[in-house]
Structure 1
Amino acid sequence: MEWSTVIFLGMGMFSLVMLITVIIFGTRKSSEMKALENMLAEKTKLLNSDTNALRKALIKSEEEKEQILHRLQNLEAIVTSEAWEFKKGGDDQRIQLDLHDDELQEMSDSDKAAKMAKQVR
């Protein structure tokens, strides 16, 4: 065998080994990247569901805030009115703020406050 043939075959074998190494390395990296991609997809789904839950909680909180603010305004109107002072003072001239018994059973506290606020305004 000539030296050129031996060198050519040696270089060919070396190139083949390097090519196989690159393929194996690439396959491993590809599988690692797929695993990472799957993990990130799961985390993204969890984050999206958490974000949606927080949005719903925020909307509910805003609605509750509006209800509380409305009720507070009604209560402020009641306690700052002259009618409330007359009712608490026991004067004979007091304005009628009492609700009928059947109304009391049907209404919530916030509805009662709203009705009394309308009467004193």
Structure 2
Amino acid sequence: MEWSTVVFLGASMVSLVLLMGIIIFGTRRSNEYKEIEKTLGKKTRDIDSDTKELWIAFKKSEEEREKLVQRLQNLEAIVTSEAWESIQKGDESDHIKIHLQEQEKDELSDIEKAGKLAKRVR
């Protein structure tokens, strides 16, 4: 064999080894990136489901807060009205009695009863 052929074949072998190394390295990196992508996708789905659960809980707490605010306003109206009436009458006793009608349905919740009483007082 001639000297130029040996050099050409040697250079070709070195190039082939380098090319194979690049392909193997690229394949490994590609697999690593795919694993990272799968992990991030799973974590993103978990975060999305947690976010939805938190949003639902937030909405429920807001609705309950609104109900409590309405109930508090009704109770304030009742107490204020009864206290004002007792002051006007000159009866400043510590115990103000509120007489509810016994005809009210037992099915009504405390919130509905307070709302009806507040409407009657206003």
TM-score, length of structure 1 as denominator length? 0.85
After TM superposition, what 4+ stretches of structure 1 lie above 3 angstroms from structure 2? 82-86
Q: Is 1:78–1:116's contact at 8 Å kept on the other side of the alignment?
A: yes
Q: Which string of whole-angstrom CA distances, capped at 9 and with x for unpartnered residues, describes residues 48-74 of structure 1?
A: 000100110111111011100000000
C-alpha deviation, 1:85, in angstroms: 5.0
Q: Which residue does the alignment assign to 2:5?
A: 5
Determine helix, strand or coil for the equivalent of 2:67.
Answer: helix
How much is the aligned-residue C-alpha RMSD, in angstroms?
Answer: 2.0
Gaps of 5+ in 2: 92-97
Identity %: 57
Show the 5 A alignment for 1:57-72: 57-72=57-72
Give 1:107 shift: 1.2
Pair 1:103 & 2:118 matched: no
What CA distance in whole angstroms lies between the structure 2 residues aligned with 1:117 and 1:83? 14
Local SS of the residue matching 2:104: helix
Q: Is the 8 A contact 1:78 1:117 kept in 2?
A: yes
CA deviation profile, 1:88-118 (whole Å, cap 9, x unmatched): x6xxxxxx84122x52512111111111101
Deviations 1:3-33 (A, max 9, x none): 2111110000000000100110011011111
Task: Mark the runs of 5 or more structure 1 residues left unpaired by the alignment.
Answer: 90-95
Equivalenced residue count is 113
TM-score, scaled relative to structure 2: 0.84
Greater relative CO (CA pairs within 8 A, separation 6+): 2
Question: What is the DSSP-based 3-state SS (H/G/I as helix, E as strand, rest coil) of the residue aligned with 2:40?
Answer: helix
Secondary structure at 1:31 match in 2: helix
Q: What is the distance in 2 between the residues matched to 1:15 and 1:8?
A: 10
Q: Is the 8 A contact 1:79 1:85 kept in 2?
A: no
